[in-house]
Structure 1
């Protein structure tokens, strides 16, 4: 059955691919992007594809007017996909960058989501909320502690919401991608080098770069995003499925083992 689906962070990567794929499958899609150039570029692509059921709008989650306008849209599914990442050593990263990462990845999506929840409950309408979390929502690699802490927070929020909203017919899911090569992880890995200073910080730039290269420079750190996009196209509109959706399978297996090993982790 066709759904009306709002996707945040659809200006590139997973969000753009999922928006196009779900529209091709017959859903009514509102694909949103943070800035006007992204909106214009996606509108051109949609026109070229002839997708009349894919509408592109500007939605900056930190813009209260954008958010208020979005809350006027009648949707069946909210796909919270927008986010950003700050990398670098937790023990040295400037705390203002930490606050901003939580504002964009946790607080702002929560504001957007609460508004749609109120609308659905007031109208006695069932709905669905999907959060793009991360494999990093379930474990913490070095160098990515701040970013993945925002995803840990989303995991907790989504788990509580699933239980709280079940009586109202509102479903909640997370999607947990592995290290897919969209450019997102690679760009995030560059962020600490705008403030790291070998003369001041005890974490040295070369050491930090080597850490990132060890995580992203392997085939497991450069997966084809087409696999994840295909799964998003299936998961987001579905009325059934698992609460947590880790892709690919080898990452799910690794995370389960990591969580078991954590009980024996010694200092």
Structure 2
């Protein structure tokens, strides 16, 4: 019989993380789930049990994350699959956002995941097996969304360090995958979830239009089902050789093609200048 794996999922109180935790438990997996508000996990899912460990974690505090990983291993005896899902959307142009707003987004979306990786890898490396899924965004591959520059850059960072991690961890039988979700019908774009700039500048009409479109038109009409995203991640965790890059959701292939076309077009148009630097 297959030994059920132990999953560690951050940002599990809502969105993709919440749907994933529910699906994992329904299929008999062992799950440690983190949230800034553990009561929400307990009320929505369950108290601590043989299969479920809800954890109150400040993802930006390395010691807090270290403790959560240790508690997971103590409770279940091991840890197998890491899902770095915790994060939030920050709207605002580069000029509008303050240093504090930009850094706060990086603290959660980038350094929070690095805290988890730093503290989980010793266990995965020692047992010579495991999966790490770092949840980026299609905005972490294609960043041409006005008003989403800081958020997209955090997700580009997630993609970048996952590529390096995949090479570093491969020697120990550990797989790292960056996941690029498209638009999923979760509460990610709700006004109480996504953050808007404290001081907006009216002159940025394209950013205001993008902000309005995402909050009022796209929100609630996303074309992808988060339950099916959970199923896809579980299926991917069972693969012997999972990919480093995993596009998730319909319409993501279009973003892929458009980005490749744009880079190729620029490269060809400026090729003579590109190669003019040779000695």
The TM-score range, normalised by the shorter chain, is: 0.7 to 0.9
- Once the two structures are superposed, the pairs formed by residues 33-48 of structure 1 within 5 Å of their partners are 33-35=35-37, 39-47=38-46
Unpaired segments of 5 or more residues in structure 2? 271-279
Q: Find the counterpart in structure 2 of residue 171 from structure 1.
A: 175
SS state at 2:177 partner: strand
1:237-252 mapped onto 2 (5 Å cutoff)? 238-252=239-253
Q: Which residue of 2 aligns with 1:118?
A: 122
Counterpart position of 1:129: 132
CA distance in structure 1 between the aligned counterparts of 2:263 and 2:209, rounded to whole angstroms: 25
Question: Structure 1 residues 87, 78: CA separation in 2 closer, same or farther (over 3 Å shift)?
Answer: same
TM-score normalised per structure 1: 0.85
Q: Is the 8 A contact 2:23 2:227 kept in 1?
A: no
Give the total of aligned pairs: 257
Residue 238 (structure 1) shift: 4.3
Work out the CA distance in 2 between the residues paired with 1:230 and 1:102: 28
Which residue does 1:12 correspond to in 2?
14
CA contact 1:126–1:168 (8 Å) conserved in 2: yes
Change (3 A) 1:218 1:69: closer
Structure 1 residues without counterparts, runs of 5 or longer: none
Q: Normalising by the residue count of structure 2, what TM-score does the alignment of the two structures yield?
A: 0.81
Evaluate the alpha carbon distance shift between residue 215 and residue 63 of structure 1 in structure 2; reply closer, same or farther with a 3 A threshold: closer
CA distance in 2, matches of 1:225, 1:209: 27
CA drift of 1:173 comes to 0.8
Partner of 1:209: 208
CA deviation after TM superposition for structure 1 residue 174, in Å = 1.6
**Stretches (4+) displaced over 3 A:** 186-190, 213-216, 218-221, 236-240
Shift in CA distance, 264/102, structure 1 to aligned 2, threshold 3 Å: same
